[in-house]
Every structure is written in C-alpha cells, then in structure tokens.
Amino acid sequence: MKMPFIDLKRQYQVHKEAFDSAIHSVLNHGQYIHGPEVTEFENQLQRFANVKHTVTCGNGTDALVLALQAMHLQKGDVVFVPSLTFAATAEAVVLCGGIPFFVDIDDKTYNLSVKSLREAVFEAKKQSFKAVGIIAVDLFGLAADYTAINEVAKENNLWVMSDCAQGFGCTHNGHMVCSCRDCTIATTSFFPAKPLGCYGDGGAIFTNDDEADTLIRSLREHGKGSKKYDNVRIGCNSRLDTIQAAVLIEKLKLFPKEIVLRNKIAERYTQAFQSCFQTPIHPKNDMCVWAQYTLKTTDPSARQQTMETFGNRDIPTVIYYPKPLHLQTAYKHFPNASDISVCEQVSQTVFSLPMSPYLTEEEVQLVCKTSESLE
C-alpha cells in the first residue's frame, strides 16, 4: 500500500478524542464566528512566538495581503521576492497594487540569495523603481538569512517581511522568526498540509507594532471601526472561524513534540541520502520545522529516474516547485534580477520525500533503505 506524502489523517486518529471534544465544544456553544476559541488561540500564538500581537485571518494569502496593507504598500511600489516560492508571495504584492521584483535563491538553502538581492536592489535603482520592502520566504521550514537580509534592508531603507507559511516555529539565531525580532512583520498559513495546519483554511499575522495590529484587525473585518457597523476604511472579510481555532488550540499543544519528531526523521534521511544527493543544509543555530525534506539531484534526467525508483517502492515524491515564478505566465512580465539562474536550475533538480511526525518506523526505514538502490 502506497504511503501518503503528507498523512493528514493519522494525527487525527492518534488524538481523535481531543479533536472531537474541541469541535463539539464549538457546536454546543454555537459561536461559529468570533467565538472564544479564536481569542484564546491568538493569545496562545502570542506566547508561543513570543510576539506582542497575533491576528488570525481566513488563510495564508490573506495574511500576506493584510500585512502588506499594514505596511502601507502603495501602487507601483516594488517589493523584492524570491522566485522559487508558492505564487501567493508575489500574488499578494500584485493584489495590493505593488510590483514584485524577483530575486534568485541560494543554491544550498533554497532561500532568498542575499547576493542576488543586492544586485536586484541596484538594478531597481537604475530603472528608477521605488523599492520599499523585501519578503523573505522560509522555504521548506528553514528560516531565511535574516541577519544578512536586514543589512541590505537597512542600507536601502527597506522593511522586511517574513512569509513563514512553511516555517511557523522555525528559529533564526535562537529565536522564532514570528517573534518579529528579525523582521517588521511576519505571516503564516494554517493550510492543512503545513507543519501547523487546521481542518480547512486559516492564517495569521505577527507584529510588535500596536498601530499595525489595530489596522489589521479593522481590515480583516470590512474595515470596521470601534463599532460593528462603523466602517472607517475599505477592508475585506477574512476571519478564522471558531472551529478551526478550536482545532488549532489542540494542535498547538502537540506542535513542539512534532517539531522534534520531524527533526529526527530529517536526520535519518540525511544520514541515508547524503552520499547520493545534495541534502538540506541549514545553520547550526537555526531550527528547521521541515515542512518538506528536499533532495537535489545532478540533472533533470537523474531526478526523473530517482523519483521512479521511489515510486516503484510505493514511496511518493513531489516537486516544489517545477517552475519559478518569473517564468510563469502571470508573472513573467515583472522585473527580475539579471542573473536568476539558480532557481531555474534548482526547479529542475529538486524533489521532496514524505515528511510527517506520524510516519511509522517501518515507513522511515523503507524510505531510507531506498538509498541502497541509488548509490
């Protein structure tokens, strides 16, 4: 029987009683929107991330849009974005009237390349763009190099946002990215397949700025003021529903242990495959939450053959991402750094293995043993 790439049912089966109780509690009190669990979950997220404010919303894309609105992104403003990421990162910039300027990635961490970022900033100035910010993506669960990114940001008067959709819980220099010690504002997604995922859609924004917190809370609810029917600005409808909040409260209790389990599985994968492929690399002081465990082959043909080998053993593999954003139809007319070749090469050679804290010992052994057929 083929193992699932991400097993979304096994966690529920193991902790069924707690999840069922949380959901039925909401069904019994009937406050499906803005129920007490929403506030409780926001408070728990604040404590977990060690940040002053957490605002939940309908999904991870809305979180990005709301955060950009809180940064007062104006029409025509340029935001530097890595090209190897999910479309929502750049999409949010466009939805707010901004211009995504695509940057290359590092060939080892797959996160935003600081060298390419510097080149992109220089090119943007030559083209008379008004650059205002940087969105760093914590791809595959690994924190971007915020120390180096912030050096570029300070030199050029840019704000830094973290798209932590895959990296909620990851740390940089010993503290969580969502604590906003290394960025102005951070966002995450609770899409079911994320390390901390709900049973539908959900997202959150993290900030230490009081004004941003107030603005986002207004924007997520039709731009309301101090009263429900007092609309002081144009907003949207993006609320985390109470059932999702109740589920996430229970999942957050499990999350620290699950991060440990993910790291143990990643260590075993690295031991098994480091002689065959380029295995993930991350700084010693940074903790990865392993949204994906990604290997890199020598060329597209080798990747295809390798994925077929895993498939023949009923082990699923997935490519994240098969085409960089700057090559996609909707985004290819936006500006990009003059050399953006690493993300093009990486998109043709990486693939990801099953990753879940609920993988059985037999499943982990099966994945690791496949290395014997690849050496």
pLDDT along the chain (375 residues), means of 10: 88 97 98 97 98 98 98 98 98 98 97 98 97 98 97 98 98 96 97 97 98 97 91 96 98 98 97 95 89 97 96 96 98 97 98 97 96 85
pLDDT value of residue 282: 79
- pLDDT computed for residue 375 by the predictor: 72
Say if residues 121 and 156 touch (Cβ distance below 8 Å): yes
- The pLDDT, as a whole number, for residue 285 is 86
Q: Which residue has the tokens 């991060």?
A: 259
Angle at Cα 251 formed by Cα 145 and Cα 188, nearest 5°? Answer: 35
Cβ 97 vs Cβ 234: under 8 Å: no
Sign of CA dihedral 301, 304, 306, 312: negative
**The pLDDT value given to residue 186:** 98
Contact 83/116 with Cβ under 8 angstroms? no
Q: Are 189 and 67 in contact (CB under 8 A)?
A: no
Give me the half-sphere count of Cα atoms (radius 13 Å) on the Cβ side of residue 56: 28
Cα–Cα separations (whole angstroms), residue 212 to 72, 88, 279: 10, 21, 39
Determine the pLDDT at residue 9.
94
| Separation CA 101–CA 81 (nearest Å) | 6
Q: Are 242 and 225 in contact (CB under 8 A)?
A: no
123 Cβ contact partners less than 8 Å away, ≥ 6 residues apart: 335, 337, 338
Query: What is the Cα–Cα distance from 85 to 323, expressed in whole angstroms?
Result: 9
What is the sign of the dihedral through the CA atoms of 184, 186, 92 and 135?
positive
- Quickly list H helices, 30-164: 36-49, 60-70, 88-95, 114-126, 146-155
- CA–CA separation, 302 and 373 (whole Å): 13
Sign of torsion, CA 71 200 81 42?
Answer: positive
Neighbour-count burial of 225, counting CB atoms closer than 10 A to its CB (0-12 exposed, 13-18 middle, 19+ buried): exposed
The number of residues in the chain equals 375
Pick left, alpha or beta for residue 239 (phi over 0 → left; psi -120 to 50 → alpha; otherwise beta). beta
Task: State the Rg of the chain over Cα.
Answer: 21
- Pairing mode, strands 203-207 and 293-296: unpaired
Domains in the chain, CATH or no CATH each? 10-250 (3.40.640.10), 256-373 (3.90.1150.10)
pTM over 0.95: yes
CB 108 within 8 A of CB 296: no
